[in-house]
């Protein structure tokens, strides 16, 4: 899958860029680099990469502004790779369109796994209609049919429970912030009513057979949001 996939690294630290380039090339990726935000935006426009690794501490402009620039005309997957580990910084980046956030120092195998997963979910350009079926083991979420099954049994969800699951599935593997979920499902006037969301998440875990003490399906990113760990499958698969 990595063959011919193009990753753009935007980071002002030469040693980090070199480390990432060596690691990515060894996995079959094509790599280009930018040391500033301005150069990164120009390369993203001219080269149309398949994924961007973005540092926030750039010399000419803040990485959040680079993210805004990327999102103004592109849906390219973006993983923020930054030393800034504060929850507020992560929430800000995710709310502005980052697909994932990795804090430096990081493990290269974890980063490579996140890159592969994100590219797998994003798919190849022009490969067909958006996927609407997601699976993990015997759990199947069929958004087109508005049906959730666990094994051979249907999972009965309330409208709010289904709406939250729908949002999480459409961003499978990606952290969706609490604010984003509350605005999408309950409306902008409830953007800070996190207790509503906690109740629905608890009920979803119970109905989907997830362990609330050690969830493997619907994971919490403390103070930030939630991540649903399912994989897309072709709509023709039954």
Residues 14 and 108 in one domain: yes
Confidence at residue 130, expressed as pLDDT on a 0 to 100 scale: 52
Residues 155 and 225 in one domain: yes
- Per-residue pLDDT of 148-183, as tens digits, reads 999 889 999 998 999 999 889 888 888 888 888 888
Does residue 89 lie in a domain region? yes
Residues 166 and 68 in one domain: no
- Per-residue pLDDT of 79-96, as tens digits, reads 999 888 788 888 888 888
- When pLDDT is cut at 50, 70 and 90, the band that residue 123 belongs to is low
Residues 11 and 87 in one domain: yes
Give, for 53, the enclosing helix (H) or strand (E): strand 51-54
Does residue 77 lie in a domain region? yes
Domain region containing 164: 133-232
Going from the C-alpha of 70 to that of each of 25, 34, 65, 83, 137, the distances in angstroms are 24, 14, 9, 20, 35
Residues with Cβ within 8 Å of 66's Cβ and at least 6 positions away in sequence, in order, are 10, 37, 40, 41, 54, 58
- The sheet with strand 51-54 has its strands ordered as 30-34, 6-10, 51-54, 78-82, 100-103
Identify the domain boundary among 99, 122, 145: 122
Beta bridge partner(s), residue 226:
176, 220
Residue 215, pLDDT > 50, answer: yes
Residues 80 and 147 in one domain: no
Residues 40 and 108 in one domain: yes
Contact 142, 237 (CB under 8 A): no
Identify the domain boundary among 96, 122, 148: 122
Identify the domain boundary among 87, 122, 157: 122
Does residue 180 lie in a domain region? yes
Give, for 129, the enclosing helix (H) or strand (E): none
Does residue 56 lie in a domain region? yes
Confidence at residue 192, expressed as pLDDT on a 0 to 100 scale: 85
For the entire predicted model, the pTM comes to: 0.65
Contact 63, 89 (CB under 8 A): no
Does residue 238 lie in a domain region? no
Does residue 224 lie in a domain region? yes
Q: How many domains in the chain?
A: 2
Residues 15 and 105 in one domain: yes
Confidence at residue 45, expressed as pLDDT on a 0 to 100 scale: 87
Does residue 76 lie in a domain region? yes
Rounded (5°) CA angle 102-67-9: 60
Does residue 79 lie in a domain region? yes
Residues 83 and 188 in one domain: no
Confidence at residue 40, expressed as pLDDT on a 0 to 100 scale: 94
Tokens of 220: 């919490």
Residues 211 and 189 in one domain: yes
> Which range among 20-24, 92-96, 122-126, 211-215 shows the weakest confidence by mean pLDDT?
122-126
Q: Render 145-209 in DSSP notation, one character per residue.
A: TTEEEETTEEPP--HHHHHHHHHHHHTTTS-EEHHHHHHHHT-GGGTT-HHHHHHHHHHHHHHHT
- Per-residue pLDDT of 45-72, as tens digits, reads 888 899 999 999 999 999 999 999 998 8
CATH code of residue 207 = 1.10.10.10
Rounded to an integer, the average pLDDT of 33-46 is 93
């Amino acid at each position: 899958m990595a063959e011919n996939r193009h990753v753009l690294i935007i980071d002002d630290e030469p040693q980090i860029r070199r480390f990432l380039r060596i690691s990515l090339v060894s996995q079959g990726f094509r790599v280009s680099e930018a040391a500033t935000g301005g150069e990164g935006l120009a390369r993203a426009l001219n080269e149309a990469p398949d994924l961007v690794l973005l540092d926030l501490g750039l010399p000419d402009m803040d990485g959040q502004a680079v993210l805004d620039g990327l999102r103004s005309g592109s849906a390219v997957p973006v993983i923020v790779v930054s030393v800034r580990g504060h929850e507020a910084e992560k929430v800000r980046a995710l709310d502005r369109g980052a697909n994932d956030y990795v804090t430096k120092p990081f493990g290269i195998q974890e980063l490579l796994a996140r890159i592969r997963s994100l590219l797998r979910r994003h798919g190849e350009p022009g490969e067909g209609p958006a996927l609407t079926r997601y699976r993990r083991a015997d759990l199947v979420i069929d958004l087109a049919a508005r049906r959730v099954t666990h094994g051979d049994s249907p999972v009965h969800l309330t409208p709010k429970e289904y709406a939250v699951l729908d949002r999480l599935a459409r961003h499978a593997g990606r952290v969706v912030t609490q604010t984003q979920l509350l605005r999408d499902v309950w409306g902008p006037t409830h953007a800070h009513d996190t207790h509503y969301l906690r109740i629905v998440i608890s009920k979803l875990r119970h109905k989907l057979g997830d362990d609330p003490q050690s969830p493997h399906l619907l994971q919490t990113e403390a103070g930030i949001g939630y991540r649903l760990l399912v994989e897309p499958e072709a709509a023709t698969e039954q």
